[in-house]
Amino acid sequence: MDGTALSLIQLGVVFFGLGFLGRLAGRIGMSPVPLYLLGGLAFGEGGFITFAGIEDFAHIASEIGVILLLLMLGLEYTAKELVTGLKQSWMAGLVDLVLNMLPGIAVALILGWGPVGALVMAGVTYSSSSGIIAKVLGDLGRLGNRETPVVLSILVFEDLAMAAYLPILTTVLAGVSFMGGLTALGISLAVITVVLVGALRYGHLVSNLLDSPDRESFLLKLLGAALLVAGLASALHVSAAVGAFLLGIAISGGTAENATRVLEPLRDLFAAMFFVLFGLNTDPRTIPPVLGVALLLALVTTITKVATGWWAAGRQGIGVPGRARAGAALIARGEFSIVIAGLAVASGVVPVELAALSTTYVLIMAVSGPVAARYVEPVVALFQGKKPEPVF
């Protein structure tokens, strides 16, 4: 069988299987993200069957999935709302940074991976997965909740912190000079500032440029602009996700509403591939040796993320259920953590065990995060002595 035919068959099996998993998730009242991840784990390297013919497509599709997830998250808010949220939640962002970097640093030092390993693990445990969280909030119908802007502000702070962290990390791993590292950091911060100011002042021009009465033309311009901005951001050492999010912020009014309707099916398709690829790239045989440490790290950082969200939402006068939802929403780790671990291992500076621990940890958090977000309300109601709503 030729390669094209094999790839088409494998993609058909993947998409067909995702349809069944999505239907199952809907029937039991939860986000499909954990099932997508476990499905990828079962059919990736070391799983029941290895799908080797779809790697290239799955990789680019997963990148597009993250871009669309963050673009559509940005469409929910205006640039003014973003700046206001950052002003109100910058302290929560700092608390989040300290509380969630320290566990990674401690584990790396205890395992003898040194300062560089500590720097890597700090990033792995710090950053929540914007892609997974955006998907879960949409699936659970919480985009309009009072606590969601708080969660969004913390995620934006994390993404901006990653824009500063990644140049520092790559500089340390590559052994680049101190001045070279400062230059890379300066470029990243300058790009973010320019795009954010542009979104604030000229967002209406962006909306007018992309808007079109023709649905096909509108879709092509939207997708083209999202990929272009994300690619340029990535080339300038800024997260592609940050670029897509800021583009969404710049689009406003009726254009944003139309964009949401047009992009939703594409987002669901490509986002599913992002979660599947994460599972496909995880070898189940690497999990048992580091499972104990990964579970302990997951428990500690679950507590620290919930504490961050609880405290940040409480500062905005949000009640106990909203505080719990904010904390649970932040639990999931994902794309940034895997990128960080991959950069570190590829450099040869840190031990390969770091990759196994990072992957196992992120898989645990990527699965437990959506589950916690779904079931946090019944648990809170139970503790408050109220009758919990049915979860199925």
Site of tokens 């990929």: 227
Tell me the pTM. 0.71
pLDDT score recorded for residue 391: 47
The band of 384, judged by pLDDT with boundaries at 50, 70 and 90, is low
What is residue 318's DSSP assignment?
-
Nearest to 63 by CA among 370, 273, 276, 262: 273
- Return the structure tokens found at 300: 């500690």
Task: Give pLDDT tens digits for 351-372.
Answer: 778 878 887 898 889 888 888 9
Query: Is the model more confident about 223 or about 239?
Result: 223
Residue 312 lies in a domain: yes
Residue 83 lies in a domain: yes
Residue 111 lies in a domain: yes
Alpha carbon distance 132, 123 (integer Å): 17
Alpha carbon distance 77, 251 (integer Å): 9
pLDDT surpasses 70 at 176: no
The residue ranges of DSSP E strands in 172-321, in sequence order, are none
pLDDT score recorded for residue 307: 95
Residue 101 lies in a domain: yes
Residue 7 lies in a domain: yes
Query: Is the model more confident about 346 or about 107?
Result: 107
Task: Give pLDDT tens digits for 278-320.
Answer: 677 767 777 888 899 999 999 999 999 999 999 999 988 898 8
Considering only CA atoms, give the Rg of the chain: 20
**Number of structural domains in the chain:** 1
Query: Is the model more confident about 53 or about 101?
Result: 101
Residue 389 lies in a domain: no
3-state secondary structure 163-179: HHHHHHHHHHHHCCCHH
- Helix-strand-coil percent breakdown of the chain, rounded to 5? 80, 0, 20
Task: Give pLDDT tens digits for 13-39.
Answer: 888 888 888 888 777 766 677 777 777
The band of 95, judged by pLDDT with boundaries at 50, 70 and 90, is very high
Nearest to 110 by CA among 296, 283, 285: 296
The band of 46, judged by pLDDT with boundaries at 50, 70 and 90, is low
pLDDT score recorded for residue 94: 92
CATH code, domain with 280: 1.20.1530.20
Q: Domain limits at 368?
A: 3-383
CB 158 within 8 A of CB 378: no
**Other CB atoms closer than 10 Å to residue 365's CB: what's the count?**
26
Residue 391 lies in a domain: no
Query: Is the model more confident about 176 or about 224?
Result: 224
Residue 347 lies in a domain: yes
